Copies of this chain bind each other. A is one copy, B any other.
Amino acid sequence: MLSPLLERRSVRRFKSKPVSRKLLNVMIRAGQRAPTSCGAQFYSLIEISDVRKRKAIIKITGRNRALESAPVWIFVCCDAVRPAMMFQMLKIDCHLGEITRLIHGLIDASLAAQNMVIAAESLGLSSVFTIYHWKALGEISRLLRLPAGVLPVLLLCIGYPDEKPPLRPRLSTGTIHHENRYRLPTRQMLLRDYIKSNRSLVRMSYFGGDVRDLAQHWHRKFRTEEMVSREKKLRMELRRLGFLPNKL
């Protein structure tokens, strides 16, 4: 009963076998059953089946195995446009501020996305979330014809798995679980967790290229120089898409 939750791995190599419309519809239905703020469903799903569109997206995000092998691509997006249209149609004086859109949208979209992931697992399929498109939100938005107020959050790739990677390590429960108040873990706890995770990832041959350990892996992903400029670009794009105000 719990294995779709406890045994899930992100899979990045899929068989070419297509996923039936019937199974896809079950996954989408599962996504829609996720909790949603005030029943408003601040999200939309955009399935990408058009081969030319896929190629254009890969050109923007860069080549990678998950996108290239997955038979199903679904962008899970925050959507504040459809709720606003609904409010207008009903002639109710409602408003969604930019930060409210971002928060409600990200929560609703993520909850629905995770239900789809677990549905896929339960049906013998596998999946991975990719976020490569975040580095080019503007271009992706144009390609998907997104109006301001719609934000592509996760690109969910689904298919029949063609690999079975080991379960990846996680921090120990004591490190993330607090009682009644927040307490930072001690350096010792954190170091122990790091050593354990890193050892396990090295054993799994998780790192590729010239990355030797988890510290280096994180450094590649979050290095200050790049993050500062990425953050700046992100602010600009989110402002343009209506998920950050022009002024704070």
A46 touches B171 (CB 8 A): no
Q: A46-B179, A114-B111 are in contact. Are A184 and B82 (CB under 8 A)?
A: yes
* A203 located at the interface, meaning its Cβ lies under 8 Å from any Cβ of chain B in the complex: no
Are B122 and A114 neighbours in the complex by a CB distance under 8 Å? no
Residues in chain B near residue A153, CB distance under 8 A: 107
Tell me if A103 is interfacial: C-beta within 8 Å of chain B.
yes
Q: How does the 8 Å CB contact mask read for A210-224 relative to B, with 1 for contact and 0 for none?
A: 000011111101111
Give the residue of B5, B146, B214, B221 whose beta carbon is less than 8 angstroms from that of A122: B5
A97 and B29 contact, CB distance less than 8 A: no
**Distance (whole angstroms) from the CB of A93 to the closest CB of chain B:** 5
- The answer on a CB contact under 8 Å between B32 and A100 is no
Q: How far is the CB of A114 from chain B (nearest CB, A)?
A: 4
User: Copies of this chain, how many?
Assistant: 2
A111 nearest CB across to chain B (Å): 5
Taking CB atoms and an 8 Å cut-off, the chain A residues in 1-58 that contact chain B are 1-2, 4-8, 10, 25-26, 28-30, 32-41, 43-50, 53
- Total residues of chain A contacting the partner, CB 8 A: 120
CB < 8 Å neighbour of A2 from B44, B122, B177: B122
Q: Contact: A38 with B86, CB < 8 Å?
A: no
**Contact between B92 and A219 (Cβ–Cβ < 8 Å)?**
yes
Across the interface, A223 reaches (CB within 8 A) one of B34, B94, B150, namely B94
Q: Is the CB of B81 within 8 A of A184?
A: yes
Bitwise, A88-108 to B at CB < 8 A (1) or not (0) is: 011011111111101100110
Would you call A182 and B215 a contact (CB within 8 A)? no
Interchain CA distance A153-B108 in the complex, whole Å: 12
B129-A93 in contact (CB<8A): no
Q: Please indicate the chain B residues that have their CB under 8 angstroms from the CB of A168 in the complex.
A: 39
Q: Can you list 21 contacts pairing A with B, beta carbon distance less than 8 Å?
A: A2-B123, A5-B30, A6-B33, A32-B176, A34-B114, A39-B197, A39-B214, A41-B171, A43-B176, A47-B180, A77-B182, A92-B215, A93-B224, A95-B222, A100-B231, A106-B107, A107-B110, A111-B114, A144-B181, A145-B181, A244-B248
